[in-house]
Chain A
């Protein structure tokens, strides 16, 4: 990876992480939608710097669409039933998740364990998911997408029927 791609990667990382913090912390929904659009821009830059141009284009379109939905004023707000203590515990859990994931990233290979099929780690897992079990993983992903789209359509039909 040359320096131009590396600079693009780190700049895009900063943009996407700043947008992610905006989504988490900004108070108004139009601001959160704009921040999600910034995340989409940074994500597209990340994908381009990782030589995934087509994924970058589609991710940009999808995240701009999601940002438009989030920023739309026509959807009502729903107050959650969880109390402040639970939300604070969840926030601390998010920080703990960051620590665990950062430690895993620092270790690089997630864990160093050996099972009967050979070494287990990020590389071995990617070989399993992206090579040997690629068809099964894609089938599960396609099934999830169909379920999500079907549930959305069913809910809209039910709402119109009321």
Chain B
């Protein structure tokens, strides 16, 4: 049993497509917002996989760094979206 870049890309594709589906399908915008971290997770998995399997010989850790940045950006986007939607009873 082994893992290669194609398997990593398949998982990343599934996460991105599930996020896009959630963002498009949900009627409630705060529920649709939950699809954004899924798409970012797919991008992060692809970047870590590329670094793990394809970028040998180049500088390491950059793909991981982008994955961390994407995770932080996902939380920031969720916080921004929920902040824009407002709290219950604030208006």
Contact = CB atoms under 8 A, between A and B. Distances in A.
Given A131-B59, A137-B66, A144-B73, A79 B18 contact: no
Given A55-B68, A69-B79, A155-B84, A130 B30 contact: no
Which secondary structure dominates chain A's binding surface?
A: helix
A97 B23 CA distance: 13
Given A131-B55, A145-B72, A55 B37 contact: no
Contact of A20 (B1, B19, B33, B54): B19
A114 interface: no
Contacts of A7: 1
B31 A75 contact: no
B77 A70 contact: no
B80 A155 contact: yes
A149 B76 contact: yes
Nearest to A64: B75
A50 interface: yes
B54 to A, nearest CB: 4
A47 to B, nearest CB: 6
Contact of A66 (B5, B37, B44): B37
Contacts of A17: 11, 14-15, 18
